[in-house]
Structure 1
């Protein structure tokens, strides 16, 4: 079941890349495994997927302990500063950095643990009250300030587009976040590399790829509906 779903997602990723004139290798598929048991993760791992995303630090740590060590773990959810220390040396990329205070904590813990941590700046591109993320207007200032901190490296931007029935409705937001990344790249800020654009989820990842996503975060499309009661 999971393997079949993954094949279908992979096919759609390839087709979206073709439509956009892009190589399949330009897009990383992150299997968003929150609330799912390790048996399901192992099934996806066995197909060759090495990038997994989690929303909660504790759940990522529990899975990190029992899953193969060549997995790249992505922290996707809102991150509390008091949980940052647990991620050090274990997370490949933190997608959800939305404030300078959080960036400062990641920097401080990275120095303490003698590691360099890759991060993305999360931008609430649609300005939704229910979502985390810095505003489009404040994003550049946040990037400039965070870039001066030791032991972190800004790799790009992340956004969570609105939930929509028609994926086309989010195309404008994907275009806006891509343009923002271009604007930031043009500034040539030290310690900032805009090669990652993390956008697109199960409902709209094909449009996101067409608009330049380099990472798409697929949960339901691979694992099926989540059970939040566990």
Structure 2
């Protein structure tokens, strides 16, 4: 059951308090909080916006393209779902305030996004995360850990309209011990930073969702994606 719109602000506050407590316990800087608004109506998203939330995440191109134009322009949209290369142009042209694509899983996808950004004449590079498959599940998208550096080098060398900002993973949903997935993503970041001669801390780690975001923060996540803890159970897909 979806929570009532009057509860969204309270839920958001509760999530932020949990994040603050976790960061205080581990002496960590607070991560970005991306409110995952998949299947949520515009009115519900506005409730979170009015409560101070600015980063929102969507999973489907058609959905984010339909919502974004009717919502405030200062929202920072994160695309977090599987992105087919042939939908990159629709995504970039349809969401003027697209901030990050977290689900780049191949050089082909990166190239498609770069070309879309060039065509749309974006004023600033589009930030991207490389999505890494850390659970080994064939049903999930993401590149293999050993492919991360190759994709990153392709972005750096051939995609001037993109800015590589970090890595993302989902892990195995419902696993009571998600630490192995988090540890693998940290290791990927370490190797990538060495390859690119960057500081590890200059690369974001997007990991952790409603069920495990506190564990993810403790494991070093710099961006968490939280949906049901803010909005309640998702309404059915229309």
- The TM-score range, normalised by the shorter chain, is over 0.9
Extract unaligned runs of 5+ from structure 1: none
**Helix, strand or coil: the match of 1:147?**
helix
2:162 and 2:107 mapped to 1: Cα distance? 12
- 1:12-161 equivalences under 5 Å are 12-24=18-30, 27-88=31-92, 89-115=96-122, 116-149=125-158, 150-161=160-171
Q: Is the 8 A contact 2:73 2:97 kept in 1?
A: no
2:237 and 2:39 mapped to 1: Cα distance? 9
Aligned to 1:227: 235
Runs of 4+ with >4 A deviation: none
Most deviating of 174-183 and 193-202: 193-202
1:29 and 1:112 mapped to 2: Cα distance? 30
TM-score where L is the length of structure 2 = 0.89
How large is the RMSD of aligned CA atoms in angstroms? 1.7
- 1:192-211 equivalences under 5 Å are 194-211=202-219
Displacement of 1:65: 1.0
TM-score where L is the length of structure 1 = 0.92
Deviations 1:50-96 (A, max 9, x none): 00000011211121111110000000000111211123243100000
Aligned to 1:179: 187
Deviations 1:173-205 (A, max 9, x none): 112201211221122259x98421111000010
Most deviating of 27-36 and 85-94: 85-94
**Helix, strand or coil: the match of 1:92?**
strand
Q: Is the 8 A contact 1:55 1:77 kept in 2?
A: yes
1:228 and 1:102 mapped to 2: Cα distance? 29
**Helix, strand or coil: the match of 2:203?**
strand
Q: Is the 8 A contact 2:103 2:130 kept in 1?
A: yes
Extract unaligned runs of 5+ from structure 2: 1-6
Q: Is the 8 A contact 2:36 2:57 kept in 1?
A: yes
